[in-house]
Amino acid sequence: MSIDLQALKARIKSARDSFPTYKILIYGDSGVGKTSLFKEAKDTLILDVEEGTSVFKGESSTDVAQITCWEDLQGYYALLQSGELRYTNVVLDSITEYQELCKDYVLKTYQRNRISPDVPSQQDYGEISEKMRKMLRQFRALDCNVIYVARTKFTKDDTTGEIRIRPDVVGKLENDLPGAMDIVGYMAANADGERFICFNLTGKYLAKDRTHSFPDVLKNPTWADFEKALPGLVPRDQAEVAS
| 48-58 CB burial, b ≥16 within 10 A, e <16 | bbbebbeebee
- Is residue 14 a part of any domain in this protein? no
Q: Could you give the CA distance from residue 127 to residue 106 in angstroms, rounded to a whole number? A: 7
Q: What total of structural domains would you count in the chain?
A: 1
Task: Report the 10 Å Cβ neighbour count for 235.
Answer: 16
- Is residue 13 a part of any domain in this protein? no
Average pLDDT, the chain: 88
- Is residue 196 a part of any domain in this protein? yes
- Is residue 16 a part of any domain in this protein? no
- Is residue 89 a part of any domain in this protein? yes
DSSP label at residue 35:
G
- Is residue 79 a part of any domain in this protein? yes
If one compares 17 and 43, the residue with the highest pLDDT of the two is 43
Beta strand 208-209 pairing with 183-189: antiparallel
**pLDDT tens, 202-242?**
888 999 999 999 999 999 999 999 999 999 999 977 655 45
**pLDDT tens, 58-98?**
677 899 999 999 999 999 999 999 999 999 999 999 999 99
Residue 182, by phi and psi: left (phi above 0), alpha (psi -120 to 50) or beta? alpha
CATH of the domain at 209: 3.40.50
Tell which residue, 51, 53, 29, 25, has the closest CA to residue 39: 53
- Is residue 12 a part of any domain in this protein? no
**pLDDT tens, 38-58?**
999 999 999 999 777 777 776
Using the predicted structure, report yes or no on whether residue 111 has a pLDDT greater than 70: yes
Give pLDDT, residue 230.
Answer: 96
Provide the domain limits for residue 103.
Answer: 21-242
Tell which residue, 213, 150, 212, has the closest CA to residue 178: 150
- Is residue 3 a part of any domain in this protein? no
Q: Which backbone phi and psi does 24 adopt, to 5 degrees? A: -125, 140
Confidence (pTM): 0.87
